[in-house]
C-alpha cells in the first residue's frame, strides 16, 4: 500500500502541463506564468539544440536544472518562445519578481511544496501502510497551508503582470472551492482524531502488549519531574523543550518505524478500527490528488527563480542585465556592455569580472567579423552573441546594459572540434560537411556563428574557402572543385589533401 506522488517531481509536472479543468467539473481559463495562451505551451524540445555545447549553454542549463532536473526545466531551457507576446509575458513575470514581497511569497510557497513533496517521498518509502497514510496526512496539511498562504500573500503584493494576476484570481477561487475545502476539513479532522488516540504499552521481557489507555497515572511524567532537580546547565536546556505526549501516535522523524513500532501500529489499527477505516478511505481518495494549475505553476516558478538566483551574484558584482527587444525591419542589431554569461558566472565565484563588449550592425550590415590575437576574447564574444540571441528567445533578462537583437528562426554554430574517429572524416572534411549542413538549412532569418573556421588547412585555403562561404555558399562538391581550380590539383591530389 505504498503510494507515491511528489507534487514537484518531473513526472507529475509533465503530466500537469496541460489545460486545467475546474474543481467542480467546469473548465477554467488557462493559467500559466510562461505562456499567455495554450498553443504556446508545447511541444517542448526534449534534446538540447546542436549549438548548446559551442555556446556553453549546456553548462548554464545544467546549473539551472540541477543534476537530476527534478522540476523538468531542461525542455523549457531548450525551447525558444514562439511569439513576441510570450517574451513580453515572461518579462512581466521577471519584473514582478524583482519586488521583494512577491519574491518572498513565491519562495515561501515553493518551500511549502518542497516540504509536502518530502513527506510524500517518505510515504512512498514507508514499509507499513499506516505509516504511509500518516505521511500523506502531513503532506496534504502542508500543501493546503502553503497554497492558502500564497494566495493571500500574492493578492496583497498586487502584482502587475497578467500572469501573476491570473494566478491570484485562480487561487482565490481555488481556496474557496469545494475540492480544497473538503481536503482541508478532512485532513484536519483526521489529524485531530489521531491526536486524541491514547494507548498503553506493556513490556514484559520480549513481549509487548498494546491496549486502550485506562486513565492510569502517567508515571513517565512523574519520573521526569522527580529527576528534574538533578538536571542543570546544558542538560536542563536540552530537556526544557516540550516532550512528546506519552501514549500518542507520533511518527519518528528518521529513519522509519522499526519492527516493534510497526507491530504496535498494527495493533492500534485493531484497537481503533473506525478511525483507521476513515484514514484508509482518505488515502484512496487523496493519494493521487494534485491540482494541475498549482503543479504547473510550481514548475514555472522554479524556472524563473533558478535564473534569478543564477544572475544574482553578477548583479551584485555590477554586471548590468536588461530585457532585450527585437529589431524591426530597418533597425540596427546592437548590444552594449554585453558579456559571456557562463564565463561571468564562473569568474564571479572568484570575485572577478569578465570584460564586456559592444556590437552594432546597421542595415544593410549583416556580418560581424571579429579579429585579433590569440586569447584576445574572439571566441568569448562569439559565444556572447549566440547566448544573447538564445536567452532573448527564452524571455529572460540578458547580460547587457541594452540589447536589440534579431528575431531568428534558426541558430547555427560552427566551432572547431576534435576529430571524431567514428565518422571516418578528416578534420577538413568534417568542417566542410558541417558547413554544408548549415548553409543548406539557413536563411535570411538565421543566426550563423562561425569560429576558427577551416583551421585544419593552410591559411590561403582557409581564406579562400571562407570567401566561398560568405559570397556564394556552394555544396561540398563545389568546395572540392574550388580548391582544385585554385591549386591546379588532380582528383588524386585533392583526395590526398582532404
331 and 191 in one domain?
no
Is the pLDDT at 330 greater than 60, yes or no?
yes
* pLDDT of 429 above 70: no
Question: Percentage of residues in the chain with pLDDT exceeding 90?
Answer: 53
Residues 292 and 375 in one domain: no
Q: What is the pLDDT of residue 136?
A: 96
| Residue numbers of the domain that contains 329 | 320-497
Flag whether pLDDT at 103 surpasses 90.
yes
126 vs 373, residue with greater confidence: 126
Confidence of residue 23 (pLDDT cuts 50, 70, 90): very low
Domain boundary among 263, 297, 331: 297
- Please indicate, yes or no, if residue 463 is contained in any of the structural domains: yes
pLDDT in tens, 367-399: 888 888 877 788 999 999 999 999 999 999 999
Residue 426 falls inside a structural domain: yes
Q: Which residue has the higher pLDDT, 434 or 260?
A: 260
- Does residue 436 have a pLDDT over 60? yes
Do 30 and 104 belong to one domain? yes
Q: Are residues 326 and 190 in the same domain?
A: no
Number of domains making up the chain: 2
The chain-wide mean pLDDT, for the chain, equals 83
The tens digit of pLDDT for each residue in 154-198 reads 999 999 999 999 999 999 999 999 999 999 999 999 999 999 999
What is the pLDDT averaged over residues 422-429?
62
In a domain, 268, yes or no: no
pLDDT digits 0-9 by tens, 60-86: 999 999 988 999 999 999 999 989 999
Same-domain status, 353 and 406: yes
307 is a domain residue: no
Q: What cell was used for 290?
A: 494534485
pLDDT at site 467: 67
pLDDT higher than threshold 60 for residue 238: no
How long is the chain? 498
Look up residue 317 and give its three cell numbers.
Answer: 558584482
252 domain-assigned? no
Say if residue 292 is in the same domain as residue 410.
Answer: no
The domain that holds 364 is classified in CATH as 3.40.50.300
Q: Is there a single domain that holds both residue 18 and residue 98? A: yes
Per-residue confidence (pLDDT) for residue 402, from 0 to 100: 97
**How would you write the chain as a 3-class SS string?**
CCCCCCCCCHHHHHHCCCCCECCCCCECCCCCCCCCCHHHHCCCCCCCCCCCCCCCHHHHHHHHHCCCCCCCCHHHHHCCCCCHHHHHHHHHHHHHHCCHHHHHHHHHHHHHHHHHHHHHHHHHHCCCHHHHHHHHHHHHHHHHHHHHHHHHHHHHHCCCCHHHHHHHHHHHHHHHCHHHHHHHHHHHHHHHHHHCCCEEEEEECCEEEEEECCCCCCHHHHHHHHHHHHCCHHHHHHHHCCCCCCCCCCCCCCCCCCHHHHHHHHHHHHHCHHHHHHHHHHHHHHCCCCCHHHHHHHHHHHHHHHHHHHHHHHHHHCCCCECCEECCCCCCEEEEEECCHHHHHHHHCCCCCCCCEEEEECCCCCCCCCCCCCCCCHHHHHHHHHHHHHHHHHCCCECCCEEEECCCCEEEEECCCCCCCCCCCCHHHHHHHHHHHHHHHCCCCEEEEECCCCCCCCHHHHHHHHHHHHHCCCCHHHHHHHHHHHHCCCHHHHHHHC
Quick check: is 44 in a domain? yes
495 confidence band (pLDDT: 50, 70, 90): low
pLDDT recorded at residue 351: 85
Q: What's residue 443's pLDDT?
A: 81
Q: Is the pLDDT of residue 271 over 80?
A: yes
- Examine the domain organization and report whether 460 and 400 are in the same domain: yes
- How far is Cα 473 from Cα 482, in angstroms, rounded to an integer? 12
> Are residue 358 and residue 293 in the same domain, yes or no?
no
* pLDDT for residue 20 is more than 50: no
Do residues 292 and 422 both lie within one domain?
Answer: no
The pair phi, psi for residue 357, each rounded to 5°, is -135, 155
Tell me if 446 is assigned to some domain.
yes
Q: What is the pLDDT of residue 3?
A: 31
Among 11-15, 103-107, 334-338, whose mean pLDDT is lowest? Answer: 11-15
Q: What is the bridge-based pairing of β-strands 207-212 and 199-204?
A: antiparallel
Report pLDDT for 207.
Answer: 86
Task: Assess whether 385 and 489 both reside in one domain.
Answer: yes
Question: Does 147 score more than 50 pLDDT?
Answer: yes
Q: Give the pLDDT confidence of 453-484 residue by residue, as tens digits.
A: 666 666 676 676 666 666 654 445 555 555 56
145 and 104 part of one domain: yes
Which of 297, 332, 348 lies at the terminal end of a domain, its last residue? 297
Amino acid at each position: 500500500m505504498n503510494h507515491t506522488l511528489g507534487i514537484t517531481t518531473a513526472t507529475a509536472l509533465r503530466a500537469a502541463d496541460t489545460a486545467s479543468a475546474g474543481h467542480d467539473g467546469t473548465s477554467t481559463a488557462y493559467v500559466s506564468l510562461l505562456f499567455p495562451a495554450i498553443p504556446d505551451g508545447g511541444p517542448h524540445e526534449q534534446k538540447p539544440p546542436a549549438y548548446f555545447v559551442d555556446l556553453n549553454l549546456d553548462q548554464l542549463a545544467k546549473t539551472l536544472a540541477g543534476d537530476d532536473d527534478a522540476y523538468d526545466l531542461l525542455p523549457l531551457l531548450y525551447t525558444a518562445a514562439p511569439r513576441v507576446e510570450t517574451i513580453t509575458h515572461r518579462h512581466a513575470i521577471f519584473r514582478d519578481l524583482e519586488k521583494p514581497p512577491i519574491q518572498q511569497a513565491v519562495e515561501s510557497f515553493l518551500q511549502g511544496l518542497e516540504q509536502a513533496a518530502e513527506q510524500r517521498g517518505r510515504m512512498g518509502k514507508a514499509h507499513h501502510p499506516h505509516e504511509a497514510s500518516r505521511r500523506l496526512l502531513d503532506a496534504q496539511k502542508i500543501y493546503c497551508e502553503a497554497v492558502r498562504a500564497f494566495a493571500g500573500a500574492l493578492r496583497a503584493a498586487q502584482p502587475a503582470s497578467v500572469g501573476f494576476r491570473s494566478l491570484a484570481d485562480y487561487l482565490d477561487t481555488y481556496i474557496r472551492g469545494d475540492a480544497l475545502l473538503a481536503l482541508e476539513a478532512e485532513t484536519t479532522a483526521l489529524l485531530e482524531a489521531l491526536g486524541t488516540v491514547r494507548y498503553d504499552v506493556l513490556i514484559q521481557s520480549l513481549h509487548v502488549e498494546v491496549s486502550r489507555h485506562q486513565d492510569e497515572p502517567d508515571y513517565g511524567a512523574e519520573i521526569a519531574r522527580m529527576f528534574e532537580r538533578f538536571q542543570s546547565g546544558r542538560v536542563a536546556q536540552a530537556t526544557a523543550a516540550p516532550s512528546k505526549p506519552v501514549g500518542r501516535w507520533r511518527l519518528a522523524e528518521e529513519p522509519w518505524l522499526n519492527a516493534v513500532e510497526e507491530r504496535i501500529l498494527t495493533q492500534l489499527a485493531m484497537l481503533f478500527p473506525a478511525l483507521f477505516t476513515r484514514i484508509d478511505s482518505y488515502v484512496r481518495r487523496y493519494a493521487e490528488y494534485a491540482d494541475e494549475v498549482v503543479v504547473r505553476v510550481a514548475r514555472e516558478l522554479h524556472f524563473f527563480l533558478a535564473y534569478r538566483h543564477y544572475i544574482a551574484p553578477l548583479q551584485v558584482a555590477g554586471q548590468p542585465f536588461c530585457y532585450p527587444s527585437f529589431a524591426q525591419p530597418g533597425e540596427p542589431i546592437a548590444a552594449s556592455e554585453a558579456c559571456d554569461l557562463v564565463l561571468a558566472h564562473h569568474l564571479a565565484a572568484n570575485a572577478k569580472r569578465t570584460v564586456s563588449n559592444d556590437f552594432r550592425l546597421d542595415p544593410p550590415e549583416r556580418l560581424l567579423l571579429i579579429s585579433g590575437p590569440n586569447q584576445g576574447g574572439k571566441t568569448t564574444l562569439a559565444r556572447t552573441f549566440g547566448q544573447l540571441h538564445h536567452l532573448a528567445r527564452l524571455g529572460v533578462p540578458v547580460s547587457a546594459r541594452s540589447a536589440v537583437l534579431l528575431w531568428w528562426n534558426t541558430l547555427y554554430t560552427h566551432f572547431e572540434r576534435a576529430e571524431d574517429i567514428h565518422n571516418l572524416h578528416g578534420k577538413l572534411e568534417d568542417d566542410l560537411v558541417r558547413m554544408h549542413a548549415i548553409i543548406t538549412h539557413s536563411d535570411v532569418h538565421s543566426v550563423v556563428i562561425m569560429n576558427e573556421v577551416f583551421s585544419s588547412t593552410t591559411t590561403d585555403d582557409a581564406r579562400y574557402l571562407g570567401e566561398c562561404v560568405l559570397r556564394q555558399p556552394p555544396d561540398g562538391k563545389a568546395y572540392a572543385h574550388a580548391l582544385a581550380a585554385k591549386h591546379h590539383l588532380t582528383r588524386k591530389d585533392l583526395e590526398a589533401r582532404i
